[in-house]
Every structure is written in structure tokens, then in C-alpha cells.
Amino acid sequence: MKILVCISHVPDTTSKINFTDGDSKFDTAGVQFVINPNDEFGLTRAMWFKEKQGATVDVVNVGGTETEPTLRKALAIGADSAIRVDATPTDGFFVAKQLAKVAKEGNYDLIIAGRESIDYNGGMVPGMLAALMDANFINTCISLEVEGDTAKAIREIDGGKETLTAKLPLVIGGQKGLVEEKDLKIPNMRGIMQARKKPLNVVAAEDASAQTEAKKFEKPAPKGEVKLVDPDNLDELIDLLHNEAKAI
């Protein structure tokens, strides 16, 4: 089985979010970038398929040279090779187009992406990728097994879960649950040394135009002061929630 894991290069979850160039761009100054957490669960699951079922695992990112350390980290975790599509990711559709080309040309059986990136939260790349390459698609996937050419997956739905079966090729929108947080792979010294020698191929972007443009960014209005209620006067809290906030 050939697996492709799509890696999004995103600001660490603790990052302060600021904008620059007249609020038109995310300010990367002082920001640590990491593998998108939803992709990391999928990457670790892919490593399981590699160890238990002899799968090969490649990782791919659409981005500039600044994303290479993130791809190297994925190689250090255990991916066999990396592909960087050399382009500025303009919108989800553009990224999906690039990934579809890589996935088709590489004849991958299973493509694992995160259900969404934690920066722009679009949640559209995995589905668009599946539609563009005419593959099956399962989103918000929390469990995945593959036998032969058939995958069995569990998907999280609002208030429960669903069990699904689909033939490969299949695109997965993954999230926590694919593996547990405690089972996430952390690169060790040997992995980091090996990653330096693994191939990281840079490929040219396919001609595609974005469908959307991100214009101005803004931050939420600052919050007012918290109103503290004495623990011995909880009637006041109920009164505030009922009459002021109209929440109960």
C-alpha cells in the first residue's frame, strides 16, 4: 500500500495571532511552526501501517522553502520521502489541485490529510482533493483499518459515530482518535539523523487559480472585565444569567 500524508505547516497552538501589511497578512515574526495537529495523528497512523502492513509513506506539503523543516520533521518521525510543491498556497482549492496532481501521479492508495488546518480552519482540502482525483472520501475519521483494497473507518458525527466501508483509493480527513495523543510519534536522534539523508523532492506547481482571496484580517473586540460573584451568593449568579445575559 502506498500512503501519502498531506502536511500543513501551521503556527504552534500557543502562538499569538497578529497581522501585518495593513492587516492583510498573518504576522509570522516570532512564531514557531509545527506539523498541523490533525495531520500529525494521520502521520502516526500511517507509521502504524508502515510497521504492521509494510506500507510506504510519503509526505507532501504545498509551500515555500520555509516549510522544509516541517517536512524534515515528518521524515524524522519515519516517512520515507517528502515532496514539496513549490508554491504559495493561496486558497484551499489551489492546494487541493496541487495535491491531486501529486496523488494521481504517484498512484497512492491512501491519502491521509487532517480534517482541517488549525490556522485557516477551512476544512475543505481533503474533500476537494478526493473530488478532484475521483477517490472516495471519509471526513472526521477517528479510526482506520485497511485490508486488501478495502478500508473500514469510523467517523465522528455530531453526538455519535458512524462505521463506514470504502474501497481504495481513499482520502481521509483525520483527527485525534486516529491515534491517541500519548501515542503520537516524537522524532528520536536516530530518526533526525536519517531524515537528513532522505529524499525531499521539490516539484513545480501546476497552473491553477484560486477561487477565493483572503482580504482584511481583524481580531475580536477585547473582552470587558469579568464580574465576580461571591460563592456564598450564588443567587446573584442566577439572577445575572437570567436577567442580564438572558442565557438561562
Query: Footprint of other proteins on residues 42-81 (CB under 8 A)?
Result: none
CB-wise, 200 or 237, nearer to other proteins? 237
Least distance in angstroms from the C-beta of 175 to other proteins: 8
In 3D, which of 130, 152, 156 has the Cα closest to residue 142?
156
What does DSSP assign to residue 66? G
Q: Which is nearer to other proteins, 161 or 196 (CB)?
A: 161
- How large is the C-alpha radius of gyration of the chain? 21
- Name the residue nearer to other proteins (CB basis): 56 or 143: 143
Which of 51/162 has CB closer to other proteins?
162
| Shortest Å distance, C-beta 58 to other proteins | 23
Least separation in angstroms between CB 108 and other proteins:
17
| Widest CA span in the chain | 68
Tell the residue number behind the cell numbers 486488501, with chain if given: 148
Q: Which three cell numbers stand for residue 131?
A: 473530488
Length of the chain: 248
Nearest CB to other proteins, comparing residues 107 and 213: 213
The conformation of residue 241, written as its DSSP 8-state character, comes to: I
Contact 198, 73 (CB under 8 A): no
Strand partners, 152: 145, 165
Residue 152 Cβ, how far from other proteins at the closest point, in Å?
8
Distance of closest approach, residue 71 Cβ to other proteins, in angstroms:
21
Binding mask 176-195 for other proteins (x = CB under 8 A): xx--xxx-------------
Site size with other proteins, rule: CB under 8 A: 79
Strand, helix or coil for residue 244: helix
Q: Which sign does the torsion angle of CA 166, 111, 125, 123 carry?
A: positive
Stretch of 45-53, 78-86, 189-197, 233-241 contacting other proteins, by CB under 8 A: 233-241
Q: How far is the CB of 111 from other proteins (least distance, A)?
A: 14
Q: Which residues within the stretch 83-142 sit at the binding site for other proteins (CB under 8 A)? A: 91-93, 96, 118-128, 130-132, 136-140, 142
Shortest Å, Cβ 163 to other proteins: 4
Angle at 67 between CA 173 and CA 35, to 5 degrees: 40
| Cβ 193 vs Cβ 133: under 8 Å | no
- List 190's β-bridge partners, or say none: none
One character per residue 140-179, x = contact with other proteins (rule: CB under 8 A): x-x-------------xxxxxxxxxxxx-----x-xxx--
